[in-house]
Structure 1
Amino acid sequence: MIFLFSKTFFAKTSFILSLFPFKHSRQMARSAIDEVSETGSFTRTASTFRRFISRDPNSQFPAESGRYHLYISYACPWASRCLAYLKIKGLEKAISFTSVKPIWEQTKETDEHRGWVFPATNTEEPGAEPDPLNGAKTIRDLYELASTNYSGKFTVPVLWDKKLKTIVNNESAEIIRMFNTEFNDIAENASLDLHPSDQRDQIDGTNEWIYNGINNGVYRCGFATKQGPYDE
């Protein structure tokens, strides 16, 4: 679905974004709001945890059943595609998952950052659950547990290593590739290849077009704070 935004929507969005501080220090938590530049344009920064799970049993992150946990939000399309891959490949018994609440909330009393949070109980928010592994209250807690000096965004998806208590990867494009190939020894649908070699160029080209023109285009439009970047 392609969303068309009017100038009235742009004006309302600009007002809402004006309520948030855009400047941040290295110590301050970050979100997509902080990716709006002084020119009013939204520029997405790269994901920071880019390590890989491998079918090689001697690798740092071997593809072991029960070792990894996927944190998502059903409100995030990038996180949702990771969950889709997990289910389609038949990895539900091998990789557990938890969803946070669908709406950002304040993550700490000591600053103004708002981001993904876990519900306090299983009944607070349909589909969302408390963190079953670390007792984290927010996705931010997981990032700070994985890296005490972390200064990037606190995003989902998060692919978590239960054994090493760290984030393996937070880039959805890489997580789905790992789910597609590296867990085939334990996947129920191991023969299903969602990225076949003879169709990769077409798949990757289509993904790039959808990402730039639609998925990320919505962010560029919705987070723009000036007319020029909005029109682009």
Structure 2
Amino acid sequence: MKLGREISDAGRFVRQPNRFTARIEAGGEHPPEPGRYQLYASYACPWAHRSLIVRELLGLQDIVGATIVDPIRDEKGWRVPGSDPVTGVEYLSELYLATDPDYQGRYTVPCVWDRTAKRLVTNDYPQITLTLETAFAPWHAQDAPDLYPVELRGEIDALNEVIFDGLNNGVYKAGFATSQEAYDEAVTAVFDTLDLLEERLATHSYLHGDMLTESDVRLYPTLARFDAVYHSHFKCAIRRLTDYPALWAYARSLYAIPAFHDTTDFDHIKRHYFMTQTNINPSRIVPRGPELDWTAG
């Protein structure tokens, strides 16, 4: 599916649905097992970024494998540098078509390949992190945080919806809008959501108090990309992340955690957005800056 198919007649960006939504769960067709699954991800993609963060936070690196694709995506989709040592494919599209030869959509990351069944189980990015947090609990590191505690799941799910609609996906709705009305609507929602989160974090270390949760993991990749990409490339230019004292301090506090820092690659991020989305940036020029100190206290 080309991007144009995700633009409504009113000029609004409407994200394609996830094609593969099978669950990895005990007793199911795809049970959780060490070494059975391979995560395909990109450091550039915010949806994939959060799956890499969770995998590292929970100490699942030896349980669930990971293949990192090249940040520059072309008409064939995401490319595996060299070839994938697990499946031998050169492009992620090969796994999609091996699972569904009639697939017509965009080939997206993250997605999970079942080595035993030899098929993609899921590209349902909201569920992938939850699966790592729940189905793979028996293999979590001893000191791993509980990112999706039972007693907070209702609150986490509700806030995640606000973050997704207004911000995670909101920046895309602003950036890909092809009408002034659609852009104005989306960019207003982006900054309304940032304002709400700034107020919340003024009195909390994390989004749900003093505990790191799934909500923080979902928010961080958008914040990490905001000033470097979304502010200019997606025209989310009313304010910068650095104009929000609480949000900027919070983002840097997360970046100081190895699982966040180690999976944040600003080079991949900038090259992907500015060199791949040529409908917005036909010159493919990657801008210099901004000069931000993510390690400042």
Instruction: Tell whether the structures are fold-level matches, with TM greater than 0.5.
Output: yes
User: Which consecutive aligned stretches of 4+ in structure 1 deviate over 3 angstroms post-superposition?
Assistant: 189-192
1:118 matched to 2:80? The reply is yes
Q: Any conservation in 2 of the 1:55–1:183 contact (CA below 8 Å)?
A: no
Of 115, 130, 135, the match for 1:162 = 115
1:87–1:191: structure 2 CA closer, same or farther, 3 Å change rule?
closer
CA RMSD of aligned residues (A): 1.6
Q: How far apart, in 1, do the equivalents of 2:124 and 2:89 lie?
A: 21
The one-letter code sitting in structure 2 at the alignment partner of 1:103 is I
Deviations 1:148-192 (A, max 9, x none): 111222110011101111111111211111111111222324874
1:69 matched to 2:38? The reply is yes
Q: What secondary structure sits across from 1:167 in the alignment?
A: strand
Tell me by how many angstroms 1:39 deviates.
2.4
Q: How far apart, in 1, do the equivalents of 2:23 and 2:101 lie?
A: 21
The one-letter code sitting in structure 2 at the alignment partner of 1:74 is Y
Of 54, 58, 78, the match for 1:89 = 58
* Structure 1: gaps (5+ residues): 1-29, 108-114, 121-129
Alignment of 1:174-193 (within 5 A): 174-189=127-142, 192-193=145-146
Q: How far apart, in 2, do the equivalents of 1:44 and 1:37 lie?
A: 10
Tell me by how many angstroms 1:85 deviates.
1.1
Of 60, 72, 78, the match for 1:103 = 72
Tell me by how many angstroms 1:118 deviates.
1.8
Tell me by how many angstroms 1:31 deviates.
4.0
Q: Any conservation in 1 of the 2:41–2:49 contact (CA below 8 Å)?
A: yes
Q: Which has the higher contact order (CA 8 A, sep 6+)?
A: 1
Match in the other structure for 1:40: 11
Match in the other structure for 2:157: 204
Identity rate, percent:
39
Tell me by how many angstroms 1:33 deviates.
4.1
Match in the other structure for 1:220: 173
1:200–1:140: structure 2 CA closer, same or farther, 3 Å change rule?
same
Q: How far apart, in 1, do the equivalents of 2:127 and 2:138 lie?
A: 19
Aligned residues between the structures: 185
Q: How far apart, in 1, do the equivalents of 2:178 and 2:165 lie?
A: 19
Match in the other structure for 1:4: none
Alignment of 1:126-137 (within 5 A): 130-137=83-90
Q: How far apart, in 1, do the equivalents of 2:73 and 2:23 lie?
A: 28
Q: How far apart, in 2, do the equivalents of 1:86 and 1:33 lie?
A: 33
Q: Any conservation in 1 of the 2:57–2:144 contact (CA below 8 Å)?
A: no
